[in-house]
Chains A and B, each alone.
Chain A
Amino acid sequence: MAKKLMKGSEAIGEAAIQAGCRYFFGYPITPQNEIPEYMSRRLPQEGGCFLQAESEVAAINMVYGAAGSGARVMTSSSSPGISLKQEGISYIACAEIPCVIVNMMRVGPGLGGIQPAQGDYFQATKGGGHGDYHLVVLAPSTVQEAANMVMEGFDIADTYRIPVMVLGDGMIGQIMEPVEFVPPKKREVPPKTWAATGWSDKSRPRAILNSLYIEPEEMKVVMDRLLERYELIKKNETRVEEFMTEDAEYIIAAYGTTARIAKSAITKARAQGIKVGLIRPITVWPFPYEAYSKAADRVKGFLDIELSTGQMVEDVRLAVAGKKPVEFYGKLGGFVPSADEILEQIKKMAEVK
């Protein structure tokens, strides 16, 4: 398929359709409205259903119902809306129902603003809703990667019966880039024999999609199963990009839009003789701890850059385990740092005058 110039949000919508998603439930919130708008236009053309819910709370529960019925389903929102979806996400995680949830992060807390930010890292990677669960969280740094992640996200979700979150930011949603829709590497996706489809096929057990287990013995079975699955996902799905790290003396830790700008800064720094590289988590859960801990044995220090007051930096520090200094630079308020600004921070870390 030829490359097409598309806005990030629209590419995400098209990627979902290409992946076989035929149901979308959402609620308007800036800066991701182009996703539901695109789906409202495209899904009827594909014989699917777009429905604007009465709230994010309802939208995620419609996802629960539709995905529990065996369909590929997506919803999208931005930070305050994702907070409202957390109850449903927790239920979906416990009921082991696959779906894809897109968060185009905006600056916060509270109603915050509509500019890009990365303040939902904790929420996305450490739970978000109540209880003891994880989502697979994919963090795109380009429009192409966002499209790829949505397409593969459905396969990951179906493989492990887990909700997958694509954690972008306002920037990824709003920029336009050339994109092509390439199916991901084929996986053995298990059939959805657990789905509620009407019990006409009596050769399967009656479908009960549930997150209530009053007996501790039964709850434990579910939680043991989830834990086992999370360990399998850590083993199989952890992804990271290393950029110019072979000879690097300093490592930048960044994801999404920030990582992309950091690459430009690294190229500039290299031109000035500073040996710096980037370790970019592609999956922020599972987090690529090993890439950072290995680097800690050979580099002089780390600089974590985020559009937040410092969230992913905690995971970087956990990986580096005190072996080397980990500095932090946070760009707040909805501003995005320029490459030169990051270059200044690199120079400061490398003590280049």
Chain B
Amino acid sequence: MAVVFEKTKMLTDVPFHYCPGCTHGIAHRLLAEAIEELGKEDEAIGVAPVGCAVFAYNYFNCDMMEAAHGRAPAVATGIKRVHPDKLVFTYQGDGDLASIGTAEIIHAAARGEKITTIFINNAIYGMTGGQMAPTTLEGQVTTTSPYGRKKEHCGLPIKMSEIIATLDGAAYVERVSMHDVPNIIKAKNAIKKALQYQIAGKGFSFIELLSTCPTNWGMTPADALEWLKDNMIPYYPLGVKKEVEL
């Protein structure tokens, strides 16, 4: 029988631990396929975050380091400075990147660190059980915003792509969404483009993926995708935020 589909070699055979309907699995596959399509399987070094993707080192079939919460861009900086010819990426969630790790991500971008960051924004802390994230939407109920996030109490959600795009060191910044197939295809192209910016030595590249967390949002996977589309995209507009000449 003819082989019509093969899983990318950039992913191991270890089954994902992610909840049903979670978009992490798709995001992993997009990044892994992009690396393979660029022929960089043997040159990739990844940094896993703290959060739901903490076990990413079990899934990406390349050399991996596991960082402390929020510190992945600093760890990746150390790796890239030793191995400037390798493809270095971080994979981080919103608690990791937009809260505890803001200093590290901002300064990695400001330095124009030649690494690529894949940023999963699902508006909640997943691994710890659904607490409020810096990206949690106004009014959104979480285990630590049981009355809904209130602007006057803790401000409005942080828009990381727009912030990163203001920094001169950032070469390519795009926000994409995981809520349907056309957008997932766009996400794949964005990730691939971000990696190409790194390979070309243009500077820091950053892809924000709007994602779902059906378990902690308390929704079915299908409802979660709808909720993302109806609630997250209006606040987190999709598109390229920064693009220098490749």
Q: Which residues of A contact B (CB under 8 A)?
A: 23, 25, 49, 51, 53-55, 57-59, 61-71, 73, 87-88, 91, 95, 196-200, 206-212
Contacts and interface: CB of A to CB of B under 8 A. Distances in A.
B66 A211 contact: yes
B57 interface: yes
B46 to A, nearest CB: 9
A91 B66 CA distance: 9
Given A58-B103, A69-B83, A196-B45, A209 B78 contact: no
B107 interface: yes
Contact of A196 (B54, B65, B87, B103): B65
Nearest to B44: A198
Nearest to B46: A196
A313 to B, nearest CB: 34
B187 interface: no
A198 B78 contact: no
B193 interface: no
A269 to B, nearest CB: 50
Question: Which of B61, B71, B79 has most chain A Cβ within 10 Å?
Answer: B79
B79 A66 contact: yes
Contacts of B62: 198-199, 206
B75 A64 contact: yes
Contacts of A69: 45, 78-79, 82-83
A55 B103 contact: yes
Max chain B Cβ within 10 angstroms of own Cβ: one of A73, A196, A200? A196
Contacts of B104: 54, 57-58, 61
A295 to B, nearest CB: 43
Contacts of A51: 77, 81
A88 B71 contact: yes
Given A23-B82, A198-B83, A65 B63 contact: no
Residue among B42, B74, B87 with most chain A CB within 10 A: B74
B75 A65 contact: yes
Contacts of A91: 67-68
Interface in B68-94: 68, 71, 74-83, 86-87
B47 interface: yes
Contacts of B54: 212
Interface residues of B, number: 35
B42 A58 contact: no
A200 B85 CA distance: 13
Contacts, number: 129
A64 B64 contact: no
A62 B57 contact: no
B43 interface: yes
Given A54-B107, A210-B57, A23 B68 contact: no
B82 A62 contact: no
A31 B67 CA distance: 29
Closest 9 CB pairs of A and B: A65-B78, A66-B78, A61-B74, A65-B75, A196-B63, A54-B107, A62-B78, A69-B82, A200-B42
Given A51-B77, A61-B75, A209 B64 contact: yes
Nearest to A201: B42
B45 A198 contact: yes
Given A61-B71, A68-B78, 8 more contacts: A58-B77, A61-B67, A61-B75, A65-B65, A66-B81, A70-B82, A206-B61, A209-B64
Given A23-B82, A66-B78, A70-B82, A209 B71 contact: no
A23 B65 contact: no
Contacts of A71: 82
B71 to A, nearest CB: 4
Nearest to B40: A198
Given A198-B42, A198-B44, A206-B61, A57 B71 contact: yes
A65 B79 contact: yes
Given A69-B83, A212-B54, A63 B78 contact: yes
Given A198-B42, A198-B86, A199-B62, A68 B79 contact: yes
Interface in B106-148: 106-107
Given A55-B103, A71-B82, A206-B61, A198 B66 contact: no
A199 B77 contact: no
Contact of A210 (B45, B65, B76, B80): B65
B83 A23 contact: no
Nearest to A97: B65
Contacts of A209: 64-66
A88 B45 CA distance: 20
Contacts of A211: 66
A59 B64 CA distance: 19
A167 to B, nearest CB: 23
